[in-house]
């Protein structure tokens, strides 16, 4: 059981580190997504990030992912 909890704690740390890296990369690209939504790893945040990766740049279309 101890091994399981250690592994879980490691996974949680890795996830939080990855989210911080994503947020930093977006900020460096001058995309202030964290100012618009509270959690970039949520459903809406990931939908917006996927749209950006595909090439969408229209703010209205990106904001439609929030609805």
Closest CA to 44 of 65, 25, 15, 22: 65
Q: What pLDDT digit, counting tens, does each position of 34-52 carry?
A: 888 888 999 989 999 999 9
Whole-number percent of the chain with pLDDT over 70: 96
Look up residue 25 and give its two tokens.
């990369």
pLDDT at 62 over 90: no
Structure tokens at 28: 């460096």
Give the separation between CA 36 and CA 14, rounded to whole angstroms: 24
pLDDT, residue 8, reads 97
User: In this predicted structure, what is the pLDDT of residue 35?
Assistant: 87
Is residue 48 within 8 A of residue 62, CB to CB? The reply is yes
The pLDDT value recorded for residue 66 is 67
Domain ranges of the chain: 2-66
């Amino acid at each position: 059981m101890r091994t399981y909890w250690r592994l879980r704690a490691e996974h949680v740390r890795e996830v939080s580190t990855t989210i911080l890296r994503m947020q930093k990369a977006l900020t460096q690209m001058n995309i202030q997504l964290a100012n618009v939504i509270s959690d970039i790893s949520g459903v809406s945040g990931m939908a917006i990030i996927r749209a950006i990766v595909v090439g969408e740049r229209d703010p209205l279309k990106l904001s439609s992912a929030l609805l």
